[in-house]
């Protein structure tokens, strides 16, 4: 994704952090192509400029923006972004050169261009080299010799694509608009009830089209697939609008130009208004495609998706997304990094969906589109969590009725609003009564005997601590983990001492995984054919995220999820990755609680973002060491 403020890295860092709660220093360094030390130095400079209006705080490799005085912060922000003087920025100079060449009717001499920009010839040649590299992805070239003149070469459609994706605002922000034309366009769009973002993009396409067409830069021919768009119902609106405008200006606009300005409509974002969305006919191929996506996720992750209410919106999103990809309509996704970081499982689902869409629709899903797909799956996972059955929670306190009620009020801030909360006296804390509840929260030091999970906390407690313990408790009833301590990981309740493996002595990944599976089989956790099913799945695709491998398959030895963890002291090469930790999942044919599996996946994938935790895990020599790493204590 292009940077909003060109080469002004400090402005870009501040812009990104204004839209994100927290980001890794590593992520920012990768995004801007610099070292982590450079990013840290930039942040120091930004903080000096912000003074007391705000602060970018760095903690354990993550940074977040804190704003203390909104007005002073806005002034400081404006100062930072305005330091990007036009000809002192390579990015801005490249924009200027491209705009000059795209409007030139004859080759432009390098010396004349350098003189016009008031820069040295060597600086311009360096900028041209960078610009040529950027243009390669669009099949555009700068041809000619610096001594005889330079010209822009490539299809008109690709030139416009480059402009729309990279420098429309910088070229056309002060472009003189014909008020009569603009009024006609806006009135026509208002009648169609298009979303504001679609209207804005359509106006931009119209501006670019008329500018290029009226200056003699015409699209003479398009790839054949574009001409199929004229049969779409919504094309008639564009056709009529342009014909009406043509009459006003005594010109005739060819079909290629009409198709060009139709692109933002067929590739628009899914309308937020359902009525507007349903007025658009859904492609008949989308529903079968959604079924294949759902099946792909079920086969790869053993998670069954029932999208419920957002199924139709999701199908419309897929339809518009395919249109965008097929006809090269680019959209940005400023939320990509946040989604990738916050919803790792949803992102994995989106990768599976992208692969299916790529195979079926023959399009390559871009990073921005991948992020929007992940957002839909994130909604599914959140809704799935909210739809869990109402919980009955018993609160036991020996500090008196009033204190117990105050304690219960604090708990209600943390638990789901649909949960039933009952205050019990210690005398009522007997198994016959407590076994009727899902969770027991207790402030007494007396040992509670019951089948449901028990959480011991003080009257004044940390809300995050209780929230994580409640999350654990959802999956603990009927297991050995009746008393919940300060280990916040649900997977800790599944892992057993004999399912942890120190793989430091293993020579390769394959033999290490074989050892894990053979031992699980000998101990009765999996059936004899489990290993074959795992390797069959591995032959098709491996689930590896950075340095974590998550091989998994169905086991027929029991009805519970079996988790096995294997740790390499040094990274172990496998395919194109270096594995440090193996989380082997043996899944029953019928999963009783799919939310438990989702939770475990989420926990495993979240570890990828925590280098410090991974480092500690790789030094775990045994089960006890590993469990100590998972503990989070205040």
628 pLDDT exceeds 90?
Answer: no
Query: Please, are residues 617 and 607 in contact by the beta-carbon 8 Å criterion?
Result: yes
* Domain count of the fold of the chain: 6
Work out the pLDDT band at 88, boundaries 50, 70, 90.
low
Work out the pLDDT band at 2, boundaries 50, 70, 90.
very low
One domain for residues 50 and 100: no
Instruction: Tell me the CATH number at 470.
Output: 3.40.50
Helix (H) / strand (E) containing 395: strand 392-396
C-alpha closest to that of 164 among 379, 327, 347:
327
One domain for residues 500 and 477: no
One domain for residues 149 and 221: no
Q: How far is CA 377 from CA 317, 346, 348, 503, in A?
A: 12, 5, 9, 34
Is residue 253 situated within a structural domain?
A: yes
Instruction: Tell me the CATH number at 319.
Output: 1.10.1790.10
At 25 the pLDDT is 87
Work out the pLDDT band at 102, boundaries 50, 70, 90.
very high
Is residue 275 situated within a structural domain?
A: no
One domain for residues 41 and 127: no
Write the DSSP assignment of 76-91 as a string of letters.
Answer: HHHHHHTT--GGG-HH
Model confidence pLDDT, tens digit, residues 511-568: 999 999 999 999 999 999 999 999 999 998 889 988 899 999 999 999 999 999 999 9
Instruction: Tell me the CATH number at 563.
Output: 3.40.930.10
The model's pTM is 0.72
- Where among 386, 420, 452 does a domain terminate? 386
Question: Which tokens belong to 245?
Answer: 């405008």
Is residue 174 situated within a structural domain?
A: no
Biggest CA pair distance of the chain: 97
Note down the domain range covering 497. 493-630
Residues sharing a CB contact under 8 Å with residue 92, sequence separation 6 or more, in sequence order = 6, 7, 84, 86, 170
Model confidence pLDDT, tens digit, residues 142-178: 998 767 899 999 999 999 999 998 888 888 877 777 7
Query: Please, are residues 53 and 72 in contact by the beta-carbon 8 Å criterion?
Result: yes
- Where among 386, 404, 432 does a domain terminate? 386
One domain for residues 459 and 441: yes
Question: Which tokens belong to 374?
Answer: 């992940």
C-alpha closest to that of 339 among 21, 112, 614:
21
Residues sharing a CB contact under 8 Å with residue 76, sequence separation 6 or more, in sequence order = 49, 50, 51, 53, 54
Mean pLDDT of 580-595: 90
Q: How far is CA 76 from CA 9, 40, 53, 65, 86, in A?
A: 15, 19, 8, 14, 20
Give the chain's mean pLDDT. 85
One domain for residues 121 and 229: no
Length of the chain equals 634
One domain for residues 536 and 587: yes
- Where among 340, 356, 386 does a domain terminate? 386
Q: Scanning the structure block, which residue is given the tokens 């005594």?
A: 250
634 pLDDT exceeds 50?
Answer: no
Instruction: Give per-residue burial for 114-141: e unless 16+ CB within 10 Å, then b.
Output: beebebeeeebeebbeebeeebeebebe
Residues sharing a CB contact under 8 Å with residue 610, sequence separation 6 or more, in sequence order = none
Q: How far apart are CA 128 and CA 136, in angstroms?
A: 12
At 107 the pLDDT is 92
């Amino acid at each position: 994704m292009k940077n909003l403020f060109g080469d002004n890295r400090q402005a870009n860092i501040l812009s990104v952090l204004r839209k994100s709660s927290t980001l890794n220093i590593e992520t920012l360094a990768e995004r801007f192509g610099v070292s982590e030390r450079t990013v840290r130095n930039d942040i120091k400079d930004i903080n000096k400029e912000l003074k007391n209006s705000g602060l970018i705080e760095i903690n354990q490799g993550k940074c977040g923006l804190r704003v203390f005085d909104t007005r002073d912060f806005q002034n400081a922000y404006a100062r930072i972004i305005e330091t990007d003087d036009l000809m002192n920025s390579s990015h801005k100079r490249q924009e200027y050169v491209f705009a000059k060449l795209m409007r030139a009717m004859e080759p432009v001499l390098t010396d004349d261009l350098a003189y016009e920009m008031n820069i040295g010839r060597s600086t311009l040649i360096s900028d041209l080299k960078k610009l040529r590299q950027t243009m390669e992805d669009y099949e555009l070239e700068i041809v000619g010799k610096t001594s005889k003149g330079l010209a822009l070469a490539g299809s008109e459609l690709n030139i416009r694509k480059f402009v729309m994706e990279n420098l429309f605002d910088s070229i056309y922000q002060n472009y003189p608009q014909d008020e009569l034309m603009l009024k006609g366009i806006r009135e026509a769009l208002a009648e169609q009830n298009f979303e504001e973002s679609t209207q804005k993009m359509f106006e931009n396409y119209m501006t670019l089209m008329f500018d290029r067409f009226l200056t003699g830069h015409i699209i003479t021919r398009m790839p054949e697939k574009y001409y199929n768009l004229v049969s779409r119902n919504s094309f008639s609106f564009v056709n009529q609008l342009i014909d009406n405008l043509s009459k006003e200006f005594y010109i005739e606009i060819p079909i290629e130009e009409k198709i060009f300005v139709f692109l933002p409509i067929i590739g628009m974002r899914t309308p937020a208004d359902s009525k507007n969305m349903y007025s658009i006919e859904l492609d008949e191929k989308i529903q079968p495609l959604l079924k294949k996506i759902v099946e792909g996720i079920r086969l790869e992750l053993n998670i069954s998706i029932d999208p419920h209410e957002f199924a139709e919106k999701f199908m419309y999103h897929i339809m518009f997304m395919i249109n965008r990809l097929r006809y090269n309509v680019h959209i940005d996704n400023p939320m990509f990094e946040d989604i990738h970081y916050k919803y790792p499982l949803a992102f994995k689902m989106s990768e599976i969906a992208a692969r299916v869409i790529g195979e079926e629709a023959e399009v390559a899903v871009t990073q921005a589109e991948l992020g929007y797909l992940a957002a839909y799956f994130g909604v599914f996972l959140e809704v799935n969590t909210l739809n869990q059955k109402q919980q009955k929670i018993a609160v036991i306190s020996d500090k008196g009725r009033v204190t117990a009620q105050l304690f219960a009020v604090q708990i209600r801030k943390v638990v789901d609003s649909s949960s039933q909360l009952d205050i019990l006296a210690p005398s009522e804390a007997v198994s016959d009564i407590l076994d009727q509840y899902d969770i027991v929260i207790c402030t007494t030091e007396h040992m509670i005997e019951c089948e449901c999970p028990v959480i011991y906390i003080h009257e004044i407690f940390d809300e995050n601590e209780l929230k994580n313990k409640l999350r654990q408790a959802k999956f603990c009833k009927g297991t050995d983990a009746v008393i919940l301590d300060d280990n916040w990981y649900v997977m800790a309740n599944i892992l057993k001492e004999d399912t942890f493996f120190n793989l430091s002595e293993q020579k390769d990944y394959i033999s290490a995984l074989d050892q894990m599976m053979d031992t699980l089989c000998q101990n009765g956790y999996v059936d004899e054919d489990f290993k074959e099913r795992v390797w069959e799945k591995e032959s098709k695709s491996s689930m590896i995220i950075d340095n974590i491998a998550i091989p998994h398959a169905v086991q027929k030895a029991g009805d519970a999820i079996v988790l096995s963890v294997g740790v390499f002291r040094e990274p172990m090469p496998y395919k194109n990755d270096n594995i440090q930790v193996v989380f082997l999942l043996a899944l029953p044919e019928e999963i009783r609680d799919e939310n438990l599996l989702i939770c475990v996946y989420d926990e495993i994938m979240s570890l990828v973002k925590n280098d410090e935790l991974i480092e500690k895990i790789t030094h775990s020599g045994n089960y006890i060491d590993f469990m100590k790493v998972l503990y989070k204590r205040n």
